[in-house]
Amino acid sequence: MNHAAMRDRVRRCLRSTHQVETFAGDHAVAGTAREERTLMPAAVLAPLVERAEGYTVLLTQRTDHLEHHAGQISFPGGRTEAEDTSPVETALREAEEEIGLHRRHIVEIAGFLDLYQTVTGFLITPVVGFVTPPFELTLDAFEVAEAFEVPLEFILDPRHHERHSMLYKGQQRQYYVIPYENRFIWGATAAMLINFARRLTGNPPLP
C-alpha cells in the first residue's frame, strides 16, 4: 500500500474530534469495572513517520526513576498544563519537550483514538499525527532514555498482540504486550496501539 492510500485509511478509521465519550482503559483490558475517580487529563502523540519502506510508529523508552510508568515504552506525551488549549496542544508540546520533535514536522493531525483511563489515574487522549522526515531528535535525559521506531505493519499484525497477566494489588490483572526485537511494549501503550490496529484493519476496537 502506498503512502497516500495508508494516510487515507488511517484518517477514515480515527475519530475526527477529541470530544468523545467512549472510554477504553486498563480496566477494560483487565476485565474489571471502570473505577470512578478524579482523573488527571493527559494527551499523547502517536507519531506515524513516513519512511520510504512504509510508515513507522515513533515510541520512547522512559527513564527508570520517574514516578509514573518508569522504564516503560510509551508515546511522547504527558499531563495537560493550564496553558494548553486542547489535547492536540498538550501532545505537541510534550513531544517537543520530551524528544525535541518540533511541530513543524507534524504535517497533519490525522485524528483521535478513544479516551484511555490508566490504573494510575490518568485520562489520556491519544492524538495520531503524520510526521515527515528528516528530523533530529533531542531527548530530555531526565524523562526519556531512548526513542525508536516500529514498522506500522508489525503493529498491525495480530500475531504480535499478546495477552499476559500479573498479580496487581492482590488481583490477577490481564494486559497486552507487543514484543518487538529485544523490547516489550506493554500496558496502556500496547492497548492503544492494538486499538489503533483493530480500527485500521476493520475489527471492533477494544472495549
**Domain boundary assignment for the chain:** 3-200
Q: Which of 64, 68, 63, 65 is nearest to 79 (CA)?
A: 68
Q: Which of 45-59, 66-80, 101-115, 148-162 has the lowest mean pLDDT?
A: 66-80
Interatomic CA distance for residues 159 and 178, integer angstroms: 9
Question: Is domain 3-200 given the CATH code 3.90.79.10 in the classification?
Answer: yes
Cα separation of 99 and 112, whole Å?
A: 21
At 20, which amino acid appears?
V
Q: Say how far apart CA 45 and CA 18 lie, in whole Å.
A: 13
d(CA 31, CA 101): 36
Q: Model confidence over 119-169: pLDDT tens digits?
A: 889 999 999 999 999 999 999 999 999 999 999 999 999 999 999 887 766
Q: Which of 128, 108, 125, 106 is nearest to 196 (CA)?
A: 128
Is the pLDDT confidence value at 81 over 80? Answer: yes
Residue the block writes with cell 489535547: 87
Distance (Å, whole) CA 162 – CA 70: 21
Give residue 49's pLDDT. 97
Confidence of residue 67 (pLDDT cuts 50, 70, 90): low
Give the pLDDT score at 42.
97
Is 80 exceeded by the pLDDT of residue 174? yes
E runs forming strands in 28-114 = 40-51, 54-62, 73-74, 77-79, 106-112
Q: Which of 108, 169, 171, 96 is nearest to 137 (CA)?
A: 96
| Distance in angstroms (rounded) separating the CA atoms of residues 177 and 164 | 7
Res 180: pLDDT? 96
pLDDT given at position 206: 66
d(C-alpha 6, C-alpha 76), whole Å: 22
CA angle 51, 176, 192 (to 5 degrees): 50
End-to-end CA distance of the chain, in Å? 29
Give the pLDDT band of residue 65 (cuts 50, 70, 90): low
